[in-house]
Every structure is written in structure tokens, then in C-alpha cells.
Amino acid sequence: MVCTEGEAGHLSVMTTTIAAIATAAGRGGIGVIRLSGPDSLNIAMRLCQRHEAPPVRHATLVKAFDEADSVLDEGLLLWFPAPASFTGEDVVEFQGHGSQVILQAILQRCFALGAQPAKAGEFSRRAVSNGRMDLSQAEGIIACIDAATERAARQAQRHLSGEFGRMIQQYMQQLLGVIAHVEACLDFPEEDIPELFLDELRQQIEQTLLIPLEAMLQRAGFGERLFQGATVAIIGAPNVGKSSLLNALGGRERAIVSDQAGTTRDVLELDFEVHGIPVRLLDTAGIRETDDVIEQAGVARARAQAATADVCLFVADATQPASWTMAEVETADIRLMNKIDLMPDDWRIPAGFLGISVSRGYGLDGLLQIMAQHLGDELESEETLLITRARHRDAIERTLQALRQALPLMQDEASLDLSTLQLRRAHAALAEIVGFGNIDDILDRVFSEFCIGK
């Protein structure tokens, strides 16, 4: 690839043309071959044996031919000339049948006509390099693909639309304003700097940067869980209703339910949603002392899952007081008292437990709400824009660290030059999120997560 360096470290000219299958592997009704680069249209016209360019952004029925002039497939050809395309370059797509054999044959023909194989994420990387989107928008593409729930998909669309990137760039502009004022003070050392002026700058940093960024960081864990999912382990003594709870929450009979103790010997998994959060629910073996070697292994796994799960549900049986006081109850995040429908009317639920009846469905809605809260959900803030990637969280953590170090330095005129260093570090950390500056190593890491054809 031959390229020239543009503003903000972006690669603005690329002379190679790349090609890839842009649809998922496997059998499907439709398959798409995508080309991007200066020779895209020429390659497509030779592939389809056309002498005139197709209408811009209009689907044209064509045939694709091999080197022996045999028809490989019939489909639609679309041409998006630069710069009004996904990558900002000339882009051509052939939409044909979804056979992997046919798609590979057409792709190999494109290579024979001069295209180069696209690397993982190379189409999106060119879009960022050519200014068609910022880096956070490109990551929004990954988020849209990975979204497992409707709530996650809505957040992904907001990142893809550029809303998150625009917010970060607004913080960057505010920070540049502060830096400009501080550096103006350094440029005119003979002028007395009013203490009130420095106080106003510090207040501006706290109100417009520190407070909103800290609030964003507090919700980062929940934002990442929307896409990465969470694990919830159910533990407790045998026969307290753990498997029944798994079946009830998942809405299907995943676990075998039996009156015989020790039925569940390994960890059973079931995927479901809790207020739009993808959750993997783990049903574990009943914890008890046993001479059965297999059951002992199941108990060991149960304790291990409880230690690593995002949320641990401890289930006790209201009719078995011995199940209330196991050692594991102390480390559980949520404590459930099952089978309360079998107890007398004057019976009281022990302190610290949530009363439920799995067989009758009593208390399960409340359990889901409490579970969502433990996973970081704030029901009243569904429209809040969330951090969805660990890379963003790390950059904001470094931004806040630099801002906190800058504030005390701004209390003394003699330390103002040091404060500007910290303020610029904060600005550089924010710039990493949207892909500004010389960040080739970050770009390599981000686009390595993409699939070929994106």
C-alpha cells in the first residue's frame, strides 16, 4: 500500500484496491463482494464484461464471468464513487447468491484482475483514515455486530452515528480552551495573573470535565456488560430449587428437576436477558458434604463459579432451616428464600433474604430488578450514552488522572508550565478515543478485532 500522510495523522491517499467477501461465512440467500480503491470500477467492469460504467448508486443487473468467459453468477452491481462512499474511496459491490463456492470464485477473479486481499477491518480503517468516520464510530460497527439485545443495539447505533465521538470532541474543545488560557499566562510572565482567574479555570475544569467524565466512568462497567454479557451463578444446598429457578428465569426446561439430592453434578448454563443485559445463568451442584467423587467435583466447581461470577444468587429453602446458614451465604450478592408459599401465614422471612416461590412465580420480577441493579443498571437512565469498550474506559481514566494532577499545579503561578503538560496529556488521551494524532498502534489493535470485509 502506498499512502500519504494527511492531517491529524490520517492516511489520505491509498493506491491499492482491496477486495473481500462482506457477508458472513456460511450458506445464505445473498452474498456480497466489496471492492474499495482507485481501480475498483475498472476491476468490476472487467469482471462483468461491461464497457460502460453503471449508474451511480443504482443497482444494475449483471453477470460475473471467469477468465474463460463462463458465467460465475448473476446479481446486482452498485458503484459508489469517491468521496461519497463508506471508505471515502471508489467502492463497488457485487451482490449475488450466498454460495461460498461462488463467492470465492468471484473473489479470486477480482484478485486476478488486480485487487489485493483486504485485511481484517481494512474497509473501516480506510473510512477512518479518509475522514468518513472517527475511530469511535468504527468501533460502533463492531458494537452493532456484537449487540445481543435490543438495548445494546440502541447504544451501538448511537456510537455508530457519531454521538459519542462528538461528545468526546466537545470535551477536547473545552480542554483546549483551558490550555490556551494557561499558556497565554505563560507567554506574558510580566503580567500579574489574578488568583480569581486561575480559580475560574480550575472551576471550569471541575464542572465541565471532571464531573461529567467521572459520571461516565462510573457507568462504564454497565456499558461494557451490555456487550460482553455477565454471569450469574446460582448456589445453595441440594433440593432448594436452584434448577427450578434456572428453568423459570430462562423460560424453558434446561435443567432436570428432581426430589433426589445431587441431581445436578456439573454446571448448567442458560442465556437470557435481564432488562436488556445479556446474562449467562449458571446452575451449580448442591453444596454439601459427600463421599461421591463426582459430586465432590461438582461442589468444587460450584464454589469456583460463585467466586468468579458477576452476581452470586444464594438460594435457601424455607422448609429446611439448615439451608439458611451455610458459609456461602456470607459471600452471596443476593439471598433468596424459596418455597415461602409452603410456610404458615404468621411465618416471617429471615432478615437479608428476598422471599420467592419459584413454583408459583412469586417474587421473580423483583429478583430480576435487583439482579439488574447489581449488574450496574440504572432504570431511569436508559437514554444515557454509555462507554461500551475497555479502550475508552482506559483513555478516560488517564484523562481524569492527568486533570487531577493539573488542578493543584494551577494554584501556583510557578507551576503553571507543569500544569499545561498534564492538561495536554488529558487532551491526548481523549484524542485516542476518536482516533486523532499518531496512534498507529491503537489502530492496529482496534481493527484486528474486525472481520474481513468490514
Q: pLDDT per residue over 236-284, tens digit each? A: 888 888 888 888 887 755 444 445 444 444 467 788 888 888 998 888 7
| For residue 452, pLDDT beyond 80 | no
| For residue 331, pLDDT beyond 60 | yes
| For residue 382, pLDDT beyond 80 | no
| For residue 9, pLDDT beyond 60 | no
Lowest-pLDDT choice from 252-261, 342-351, 386-395: 252-261
Band of pLDDT at residue 295, cut at 50, 70 and 90: low
| For residue 294, pLDDT beyond 60 | no
What CATH number was assigned to the domain covering residues 229-381?
A: 3.40.50.300
pLDDT at 225: 87
pLDDT at 322: 87
Lowest-pLDDT choice from 162-176, 254-268, 404-418, 437-451: 254-268
Domain locations in the chain as residue ranges: 3-134, 144-219+386-434, 229-381
pLDDT at 380: 47
pTM of structure: 0.76
Residue that wins the pLDDT comparison between 13 and 175: 175
Lowest-pLDDT choice from 7-11, 93-97, 210-214: 7-11
pLDDT at 199: 84
What CATH number was assigned to the domain covering residues 144-219+386-434?
A: 1.20.120.430
pLDDT at 4: 39
pLDDT at 191: 55
pLDDT at 255: 43
Architecture of the domain whose range is 3-134: 2-Layer Sandwich (3.30)
SS (H, E, C) the chain: CCEEECHHHCEEEECCCEEEECCCCCCCCCEEEEEECCCHHHHHHHHHCCCCCCCECCCEEEEEECCCCCEEEEEEEEEECCCCCCCCCCEEEEEECCCHHHHHHHHHHHHHCCCEECCCCHHHHHHHHCCCCCHHHHHHHHHHHHCCCHHHHHHHHHHHCCHHHHHHHHHHHHHHHHHHHHHHHHHCCCCCCCHHHHHHHHHHHHHHHHHHHHHHHHCHHHHHHHHHCEEEEEEECCCCCHHHHHHHHHCCCCCCCCCCCCCCCCCEEEEEEECCEEEEEEECCCCCCCCCHHHHHHHHHHHHHHHHCCEEEEEEECCCHHHHCCHHHHCCCEEEEECHHHCCCCCCCCCCCEECECCCCECHHHHHHHHHHHCCCCHHHCCCCCCCCHHHHHHHHHHHHHHHHHHHHCCCHHHHHHHHHHHHHHHHHHHHHHCCCCCHHHHHHHHCCCCCCC
Band of pLDDT at residue 285, cut at 50, 70 and 90: low
